[in-house]
Amino acid sequence: MKNWAGNLVFHPKKILNPKSTEEALSMVKEHLAAKKTIRMRGTGHSWTGLNATDDSFLHLDDMQGLIDVNATDQLITAKAGTKLALFGEEAFKHQLALPNQGDINHQSIAGAFSTGTHGTGITLQSMSNQLRNITMVTGTGEILNIDGRKNSDLLNAVGVSFGSVGLITEATLKMIPAYKLKVESFAENMKVSLEKYKARLQDNRHLEMFYFPVGDWSMVKMMNLTEEKESAPSKLKEVGDIVLENWLFEGLNILAHKTNSYKGLDTFMRKFVGHEVFVDWSHRAFPSSRNIRFMEMEYNLPVEKFEEVFEELKASIKKHDFQTLFPIEIRFVKGDELWLSPAHKRDSVYFAIHSYIQQDFKPYFDEMQRIFKRHGGRPHWGKWHSLTHDDLESVYPKWHDFIKLRSEFDPHGVWLNDHLRSLFYKRK
């Protein structure tokens, strides 16, 4: 069994595939009686050890689709295994949409909100903030319904809990009326991006920068609401996608890796990034294709630290002569109240560091992580990091409250694996 990137390989004894909450409940009860553990996956799009198990492995691939649409309150209840792509299309049939999304739509809804999956836009929160109601099977072998109107604290505790409290089987998400986005992207020197970012952040619903460290340039992407008619992606977009996301980019990475000619290839690559604009419905405009496999680490920092941390990253890359054709992705997210959300109580900037799968990512990621840690960074739960309990307790004010609550809902550790133990327990 492997995750999307292939960096996580494990051998579960059993695969569980429940088709209903009741069936999931009886599976959990059996495991409790036999003192066995379960790890659940969405679609395996995380890099951390969240999914790994040599015991039982559970997925909800047969629990997909909408259960209820409340058009008046703009609420959709869906089965927790529903993939984001399907969820987006089904919601669109009811003229509803999520206010924000990340850059792919292959994840399951439960997997996405359980790790705090986010897009970009300083006035917009992570996907987990759309949760209004959850049905879950807890580690005590019970079905628990959490209604955010009656128990917002519990929903805030469980909303980002990466399958450590229970198996979520249904979720109700707050939607907004379907909308179109005008997407604009272009390349420029990073110096210009830095001069303009504050104004762009205020003037655009979404701002994202892909910083290419070898050539010190960025690809800027801005998205805004529009009433314009949807357009077919331009030829330039197709070329840009091929360069940045598909086989040509893969080819360039292999070449760069073998010949160590990063500078020349980075310059070559920049030429392919034209100025492109297209319009589409939001659920189609947000996702891109990410066919090339890579390692990723992403850290959240207070937004006011953006420039300081960026300059440190840049200086460190130069000092250590780290070579990569992959960009550092820079996104902005509004703060929230979810206990384990990396954006907990702070408007945030996210820096995502990438490395080609065949490169040794560790020296690069370790250096970047050192900088993030020094500034109070919080890692994305689904993306590679090496933090353990002691690091996390210092950056999450609700860390101990969460651990206490988690053990009440999972007193026998049915959901625990080595990775989760390293997060929740001090090393002896």
User: DSSP readout, 58-108?
Assistant: EE-TTS-SEEEEETTTTEEEEETT-BHHHHHHHHHHTTEE-S---S---SB
Shortest CB 380 distance to ligand FAD, Å: 6
Based on CB atoms, which residue is closest to ligand FAD, 162 or 424? 162
Residue 273 and residue 63: Cα distance in Å, rounded? Answer: 40
Handedness of CA 264, 266, 267, 273 (dihedral sign): positive
Shortest CB 107 distance to ligand FAD, Å: 3
Shortest CB 412 distance to ligand FAD, Å: 17
Shortest CB 292 distance to ligand FAD, Å: 9
How far is residue 7 from each of residues 56, 60, 127, measured CA to CA in Å?
20, 22, 25
Based on CB atoms, which residue is closest to ligand FAD, 115 or 282? 115
Shortest CB 64 distance to ligand FAD, Å: 11
Residues at the site binding ligand FAD, with contacts judged by CB under 6 A: 4, 39-46, 50-51, 60, 80, 102-104, 107-108, 110-112, 114-115, 117-118, 162-163, 167-168, 290, 380, 382
Shortest CB 285 distance to ligand FAD, Å: 13
* Cβ atoms of 342 and 232 closer than 8 Å: no
Based on CB atoms, which residue is closest to ligand FAD, 50 or 201? 50
Based on CB atoms, which residue is closest to ligand FAD, 31 or 118? 118
Based on CB atoms, which residue is closest to ligand FAD, 215 or 382? 382
Based on CB atoms, which residue is closest to ligand FAD, 180 or 385? 385
Shortest CB 7 distance to ligand FAD, Å: 11
Residue type at position 124:
L
Question: What residues contact residue 81 under an 8 Å CB cut-off, 6+ apart?
Answer: 42, 59, 60, 61, 62, 63, 64, 108, 109, 110
Based on CB atoms, which residue is closest to ligand FAD, 51 or 133? 51
Question: What residues contact residue 98 under an 8 Å CB cut-off, 6+ apart?
Answer: 88, 91, 127, 130, 173, 175, 176, 282, 283
Handedness of CA 358, 216, 385, 247 (dihedral sign): negative
Residue 223 and residue 99: Cα distance in Å, rounded? Answer: 12
Phi and psi (nearest 5°) for 217? -125, 170
